[in-house]
Amino acid sequence: MSAVPKTAGFSSVSHPAPPTTNARARFNTKYLPLAATISLFVAMATLGSVLYTGFFSAQVFLNLLIDNAFLIIVAVGMTFVILSGGIDLSVGSVVALTTMVLAALVEHRGWNPLAAIPLVLLMGTAFGAFMGFLIERFRLQPFIVTLAGMFLARGLCYLISIDSISITHEGYSELAQWRLPLWEGASLSLGALIAIAVLLVALFVAHCTPFGRSVYAVGGSEHSAVLMGLPVRRTLIGVYTLSGFCSALAGVVFTFYMLSGYGLHAVGMELDAIAAVVIGGTLLTGGVGYVAGTLFGVLMLGVIQTLISFDGTLSSWWTRIVVGVLLFAFCLLQRLLSRRSGKAR
């Protein structure tokens, strides 16, 4: 809820991206984080290709998509929420809840996956809509509402079962094993295809629909959006509904990947998603950012992991430290940019 005073405003420059007269400077500032992300990604990929044999292959890069398909989907939903000036901490637990309900329905109740998947998608969407309703209707802070949603979804997972439920349904594992063969033996999984589809739809929604424009407007200034007669209420509820749907879809993709439902799946995924969105160049104050940037944010996280696993001598926790450092660097970049554009006034 961007009506809550933006807490970044302790220093003398509070609100970023004021109108600048110089269109060219504005263009540069706007695209700089995105450009930085893409060049860093290319640099890291090049570094990996030079350092490690076997890194530079189509499959390694397609694996970035395959291994991070669920994260891409979650991060796309998160992008819309952050663009609107909010935050959604419940995504990881909604992913876990989706895997849990899906596994329980398919395995314990003997449901057909084709019936269970729409149901869990609906459930995630409704969950998001409920949180969006609370945030919009009662002017609650998105942070705390989605925090409670996070508790709730995780708790519900454990109510279903404390243990992991593995999915043994035959058709399901076939679906999970299915690969779309591309050139030279490289292939893509169903999850990766879904992620790409979500990405394309999200690009369209963000840049070519009234809803997308409203999201940017609300994130830029909710007050102005109200005065402009934009459907602020619908937009705010909409972004959380969308994020809920994306989380549920990511949960479905996650079961393709893991073939199990577990309450401890996707712990901390909300942090990865937020990190990906920030690294992708979306301003956390809302209103500025790109869905395409989020893709590169996720790919960046993926390439770091791949680099660390290719290296072999570095332990897995270095991933977290590197992600933290990257997050810091990009937040700093954002601050410097908004500070400079503030002075350019």
Q: Which is nearer to other proteins, 11 or 313 (CB)?
A: 11
Interface residues toward other proteins, by CB under 8 A: 4-11, 13, 87, 134, 137-141, 143-145, 147-152, 154-156, 158-159, 162, 263, 271, 274-275, 278, 284-285, 315-321, 323-325, 327-328, 331-332, 335, 339
Supply the DSSP string of 198-227, one letter for each residue. HHHHHHHHHHHSHHHHHHHHHHH-HHHHHH
Number of Cβ within 10 Å of residue 54's Cβ equals 10
Least separation in angstroms between CB 332 and other proteins: 7
Q: 244 and 94 in contact (C-beta within 8 Å)?
A: yes
Which residue type occupies 255? T
- Could you tell me the smallest distance in angstroms from the CB atom of residue 147 to other proteins? 6
Nearer to other proteins, 13 or 186 (CB): 13
DSSP secondary structure letters along 110-177: ---HHHHHHHHHHHHHHHHHHHHHHHHHS---HHHHHHHHHHHHHHHHHHH-SS-EE---HHHHHHHH
* 117 vs 304 by CB, closer to other proteins: 304
> Which residue's CB is nearer to other proteins, number 143 or number 211?
143
189: helix, coil or strand?
Answer: strand
Which residue number, 165 or 278, has a Cβ lying nearer to other proteins?
278
**Identity of residue 77:** G
Q: Work out how close the CB of 226 gets to other proteins at its nearest, in angstroms, rounded to a whole number.
A: 15
Task: Output 59 or 319, the one with its CB closest to other proteins.
Answer: 319
**Pairing label, strands 179-181, 187-189:** antiparallel
Q: Name the minimum Å distance from CB 306 to other proteins.
A: 17
CB atoms near residue 284 (< 10 Å): 18
Shortest spacing between CB 89 and other proteins, in angstroms: 9
Task: Please say whether the beta carbons of 165 and 96 come within 8 A.
Answer: no
Q: What is the nearest approach in angstroms of other proteins to the Cβ of residue 52?
A: 22
What is the bridge-based pairing of β-strands 260-261 and 165-166?
antiparallel
> Closest CB to other proteins among 192 and 298?
298
- The C-alpha angle with vertex 43 and arms to 42 and 48, in degrees rounded to 5, equals 100
The minimum distance between CB 321 and other proteins, in angstroms, equals: 4
